[in-house]
A and B are shown apart, each in its own frame.
Chain A
Amino acid sequence: MAMAATDIERLILERFPDAKIEIEDLAGDGDHYAASVVAEEFRGKSRVQQHQMVYDALKGNMGDVLHALALKTSAPQQ
């Protein structure tokens, strides 16, 4: 089971239209990615909340189709 980087990016952009996203395929198997997401919606949220927002955007794929997503989230620098 795997997921394309473009699908991850599309799902995240659907939820965070103005986000800056960088996705790196760590293993080339469509199962292990690193992603950094910079979005205004994260401002004032804890890291846990920010990551949960991204997981929600991935609509249940995280931990299922997508085994590993090393996530780094932040709000844009002011």
Chain B
Amino acid sequence: MSDQDVKDWISKQISGNDIVLFMKGTKSTPQCGFSMQVAQILNHLGVEYEDINVLEDMGVREGVKAFSNWPTIPQLYVKGEFVGGCDIVREMFQAGELQDMLKEKGIASNAETQTA
């Protein structure tokens, strides 16, 4: 794929799914500690999400870094918006901000049942 094709493909994934996680490996078999941490948080919250294994395509792996001017993987997107990498997602989860964001954007998660 050309750079433009990669960019178009990436934005299609991001706009076509409520939650997209660009990661190394898959949600069931992550292949990097940072990717695993974000996948575990999402699995714990019980949300539906599209996991994209950047190890399968170097073009996507590099393209997604340029896409959000973010130099590392994993990258989490919610409703088309770049949320962050491992540090930010973990910090938001621990502060309850990630749970609030999901609720605000109308995405069902376990968080509601836990806090109700």
Residues of B within 8 A of A70 (CB): 86-87
* B88 contacts chain A at the CB level, 8 A cutoff: yes
A56-78 vs B, Cβ < 8 Å mask (1 yes, 0 no): 00001011100010111000000
Cα distance A40–B86 in the bound complex, in angstroms: 24
Assembly CA distance A76 to B87 (angstroms) = 20
Q: How many residues of A contact B (CB 8 A)?
A: 13
Q: Which residue of the partner chain, among B65, B72, B84, B86, contacts A48 with CB atoms under 8 Å?
A: B84
Complex Cα spacing A48 to B88, Å: 7
Q: How many Å lie between the Cα of A62 and that of B85 in the bound state?
A: 13
**A71 and B69 form a contact (CB under 8 A):** no
B55: min CB distance to chain A, Å: 15
A47 and B91: CB pair below 8 A?
Answer: yes
User: 3 shortest A-B CB distances, which residue pairs?
Assistant: A63-B71, A62-B71, A63-B72
